[in-house]
Amino acid sequence: MATVRRSRSGPLAQCYSTDVIVVSQPAADALSAGPSIKRDRFSFRIGAMHRTSASMGIDLDNAEWEKKVMNSWPKMCTFVVREILQTERAYIASLEEIILGYMMPLHGYLLAKGEGPNFIHTVFGNINKLRQLHEELLDKLHTACGDPHEFADVFIETDFDHYREYCIHYTDANDFLQKSMNENEKLKMFITQCQNDLEHALPLHSHLIKPVQRILKYHLMLREMLKYIDSEAVIYQDVKEAHGKMKSVAEEINTSFKKERTEQLATPSSIARRRSKEIKCTYKTN
């Protein structure tokens, strides 16, 4: 077992509520032993139960919850409310797996090599802040699900600015990750081992795009909800305002992303400029 002490500053400063992280097996040992040595696939979950929001365990099939929602929303809207909560919970679990299954083992591996946090910061960005944001968001949505006005207000009042930073840097982060793995076979082996430990069918870069996908889905789910609400009903305006807010967030991210890519392509030293094939990403905001 190895112990890694968390820095009080830098990109990992907000990761965990404890100062000591226990790693099941030093990365250097795993690499020197070869890829056939498999770390405990559950070791990345150390302390997760203490950090995960209590609402991660909400029972959406509970009769009391069902009654509360059914009495407050048009029937078809209850399915959308359930979808929002279920997918929110699954999304948080995905962020936890990225952080605990990839980022922390990589942090230990790089620390053992005497390297700084640049790789972690470049590849994972502010994903810790996104996790914290969504743990709070799920708590609020679950509390408010029996009141359509309050449910809509959660989206209206929540600040999603962290997504702008994550999304505009996503393509560069992916480029940097692929380039680093192509140039460093041991790093590639380690990341692949993390993937195997998590039993993920898809590689890391396929999971890093999930925040981009998630932030662009809210306005679509809220738009679906509007279809089942009488336009004369009071809650229609509340949900419409929430939909407008989340659509604006998606459009702003799309605009910022395109602007960032344009500036990068105009800079000879940028990663995007060096690539032989441009990665294109189109966001649907209707």
Alpha-carbon span 113 to 190, nearest angstrom: 13
Average pLDDT over residues 147-152: 97
Instruction: State the CATH number of the domain containing residue 192.
Output: 1.20.900.10
Alpha-carbon span 18 to 6, nearest angstrom: 8
Write down the residue that tokens 């000879």 correspond to.
Answer: 268
Tell me if 279 is assigned to some domain.
no
Q: Which amino acid is at 89?
A: R
Residue 190 vs residue 24, higher pLDDT: 190
pLDDT in tens, 12-53: 333 333 333 333 343 434 444 433 334 444 444 434 433 444
pLDDT in tens, 217-231: 999 999 999 999 999
State the pTM of this model. Answer: 0.75
Q: 48, 16 in Cβ contact below 8 A?
A: no
Alpha-carbon span 268 to 272, nearest angstrom: 9
Tell me if 285 is assigned to some domain.
no
- Within 10 angstroms of residue 286's Cβ, the number of other Cβ atoms is 8
Based on the structure, what is the number of domains in the chain? 1
Tell me if 284 is assigned to some domain.
no
Residue 182 vs residue 280, higher pLDDT: 182
Domain hosting residue 205, numbered range: 2-274
Query: What is the band of 58 on the pLDDT scale with cuts at 50, 70, 90?
Result: low
Give burial (CB, 10 Å; 0-12/13-18/19+) of 276.
exposed
pLDDT at 90 over 50: yes
Average pLDDT over residues 72-88: 95
Query: What is the band of 210 on the pLDDT scale with cuts at 50, 70, 90?
Result: very high
Taking alpha carbons only, the member of 199, 161, 191, 149 closest to residue 174 is 191
Query: What is the band of 68 on the pLDDT scale with cuts at 50, 70, 90?
Result: confident
Tell me if 150 is assigned to some domain.
yes
Tell me if 281 is assigned to some domain.
no
SS3 call for 165 = helix
H or E segment to which residue 34 belongs = none
Q: What is the pLDDT of residue 61?
A: 65
Q: DSSP character for 105?
A: H
Tell me if 178 is assigned to some domain.
yes
Tell me if 280 is assigned to some domain.
no
Q: 215, 160 in Cβ contact below 8 A?
A: yes
